Amino acid sequence: MKIQKQLLYPILIGIFLIIGTTIVIFYAKGYRFGLDKGQPSFGITGQLVLKSEPDSAQVFINGHLTTATNNTLDLTPGTYDIKIVKDGYFPWEKNLKIDKEVVTSVDARLFPNSPTSLDAITQLGALDPILDPSQTKIAYIVASQSAKLNGIYVLDISSRPLLTLVSGSNQLVDDTITPFSQAKIQWSPDGKNILATLSNQNSGSTSYLLDASTSNQTPQDVTETLGTLESQWATFSQVQDTALFNGLRSPLRSFVLKNLHVLEWSSDETKILYQASSSANFPFIREPRLIGLNSTPESRQLQKSSYYVYDIKNDQNFLIPLDTPNSEELYLKWFPDSDHLIYVHNKKVDVMEYDGTNLTTIYAGPFINHYVFTAVDDTSKIIISTDFGNSNTPPNLYSISLQ
């Protein structure tokens, strides 16, 4: 009898472990016990994981206030209208498909409905600003001051507090000997140098190479070796592009090179912003299709000259709706988080998700041309150039907070 009891305990423990493990597995897959019209029921659900930045935003599902972000819901498979709302921010909306046994994640970035701050980060003027390839520095011209203060400057816009951002400008050369404030400037593809070109009606143009990290330097005259320098830069850029394309699977690489004019890779190199160079059908690269994909409708039939984003990881392609008729005036760039695009048009700055949804105007005040910048490691601000409509004063660079 004693031996039977000794055997019974391990058997019971084993049974309980099997039952418990089975329950956990079924629960993880979305099976739930509940009541349906007062009667016990057992059904399968999908999970909706809700996050937002900032958090603690209200979540409306099919028009009903259901929960707050940073929560997980079990939902019957189907399509749902999801709206995330927080006071002081633009709402986030999307129609989502919930599949059985699948976890669908929402990570909504909410943008303030009015800039929380607008702060000057240059004071001497900032003409013709250009962002370097690493998206951490802006080169610009000062031309409204004395010869000692005029010249070419570089501003470090990497993730820094505002006070250090204001003092982050570095003067590379001034106008005391050469009028560099009249130069056309260009970044090297590695972001380490700046090419400054001065035009002269009598002697043609003169080109100088500047070290982007050295203050008050003696510039190097590269006029006679400019062709070699430009060839080296072109080779460097080609090597970088080739490395990115070689990272694509063979059938995808062939299709991209033939049908896509790549405008920009996302910072994490998982998505491609492009213009279709020909009308074509974008083939499915991943078969079978992955589960839990973005439920925004895709556009696999490419129309020549239209703009798209291709998600490499999930093999999804999305049309980007634009209203800019002239492609030369188009300013469409990746936002640093690789999940949003910045779209400058009609004298306003918009942000949209990479699938073309949730178009949001984050700034509609005065700014000059398409001088809108973001730092690759900082999603908390954008930088614009503006003179606030006063043509008698030089434009300066301003930081706009997005938090």
Taking each helix axis from N to C end, the angle separating 226-246 and 250-259, rounded to the nearest 10 degrees, works out to 130
pLDDT tens, residue by residue, 128-139: 999 999 999 999
pLDDT tens by residue, 174-224: 999 999 999 999 999 999 999 999 998 777 899 999 999 999 999 999 999
Share of the chain above pLDDT 90, in %: 73
Q: Whose CA is closest to 244, among 324, 312, 338, 174?
A: 312
Question: In sequence order, what E strands does 162-259 have?
Answer: 169-174, 184-187, 193-200, 204-211, 220-221
CB contact at 8 A, 384 and 372? yes
* Contact between 172 and 212 (Cβ < 8 Å): yes
d(CA 299, CA 24): 39
Q: What is the mean pLDDT of residues 15-40?
A: 51
Question: 213-246, pLDDT tens digit by residue?
Answer: 999 999 999 999 999 999 999 999 999 999 999 9
Which amino acid does the sequence have at 315? D
Integer Cα distance of 216 and 218 in angstroms: 7
Give the residue with greater pLDDT, 34 vs 295.
295
Task: Return d(Cα 351, Cα 269) in angstroms, integer.
Answer: 19
Q: Distance between CA 151 and CA 140 in Å, rounded?
A: 9
Per-residue model confidence as pLDDT tens digits over 70-129: 999 999 999 999 999 999 999 999 999 999 889 999 999 999 998 778 899 999 999 999
Residue 24 has pLDDT above 60, yes or no: no
pTM of this structure: 0.86
Measured distance CA(31)–CA(64) in Å, rounded:
24
pLDDT computed for residue 376 by the predictor: 86
156/326: higher pLDDT: 156
d(CA 123, CA 387): 11
pLDDT computed for residue 44 by the predictor: 78
User: Which of the two residues, 36 and 314, has the higher pLDDT score?
Assistant: 314
Cβ atoms of residues 364 and 372 within 8 Å: no
- 3-class DSSP assignment, residue 392: coil
- One-letter amino acid at 11 equals I
Split at pLDDT 50, 70, 90, the class of 39 is: very low
User: Do the bridges between strand 169-174 and strand 184-187 make them parallel or antiparallel, or are there none, so unpaired?
Assistant: unpaired
